Amino acid sequence: MAIKIFRDYERLSQEAADEIISLVKHKPRAVLCLATGDTPRLAYEILVEKANAEKVDFSAVTFIALDEWVGIPPDNAGSCFFFLHNNIFKPLGIQAEQTHLFDALSNDLPSECAKMDFVIHKKGGIDLILVGVGMNGHVGFNEPGVAAALKTHVAELDATTQLVGQKYFNQSTALKLGITLGLDHFMQSRKALMLASGKKKAEVMRLALEGPVTTAVPASIIRKHPDGTVMLDEDAASLLKA
Ligand code: GLP
**pLDDT tens digits, residue range 81-91?**
999 999 999 99
Which amino acid is residue 83, in one-letter code? F
pLDDT at 242: 74
Q: How far apart are CA 41 and CA 161, in angstroms?
A: 19
pLDDT at 195: 99
Name the pLDDT band for 154 (thresholds 50, 70, 90). very high
Mutate to test the pocket of ligand 1, among 36, 129, 161, 203 (most ligand atoms within 8 A of CB): 36
> From the CA atom positions of the chain, what is the Rg in Å?
17
Task: Determine contact, residues 16/193, Cβ cutoff 8 Å.
Answer: yes
Q: Which of 87, 100, 127, 138 is catalytic?
A: 138
**108 DSSP 8-state letter:** -
Query: In terms of C-beta density within 10 A (0-12 exposed, 13-18 middle, 19 or more buried), how is residue 91 classed?
Result: middle
Phi and psi for 144 in degrees, rounded to 5?
-50, 130
Annotation says 143 is catalytic: yes
Q: At what angle do helices 9-26 and 41-53 cross, to 10 degrees?
A: 50
Helix (H) or strand (E) holding 21: helix 9-26
Q: Which of 100, 127, 136, 225 is catalytic?
A: 136
Annotation says 97 is catalytic: no
- Per-residue pLDDT reduced to its tens digit, 30-76: 999 999 999 999 999 999 999 999 999 999 999 999 999 999 999 99
Listed in sequence order, the residues at least 6 apart from 238 whose beta carbon sits closer than 8 Å to its beta carbon are 199, 202
Q: Is 165 in the pocket of ligand 1 (CB under 6 A)?
A: yes
Name the pLDDT band for 17 (thresholds 50, 70, 90). very high
Instruction: Find the mean pLDDT for residues 198-227.
Output: 98
**140 DSSP 8-state letter:** T
Q: How far apart are CA 237 and CA 196, in angstroms?
A: 9
Name the pLDDT band for 6 (thresholds 50, 70, 90). very high
For residue 217, pLDDT over 80 is answered with yes
Residue of minimum CA distance from atom 8 in ligand 1: 140
3-class SS at 64? strand
- Per-residue pLDDT reduced to its tens digit, 169-196: 999 999 999 999 999 999 999 999 999 9
Mutate to test the pocket of ligand 1, among 64, 67, 163, 199 (most ligand atoms within 8 A of CB): 67
Mean of pLDDT over the chain:
98
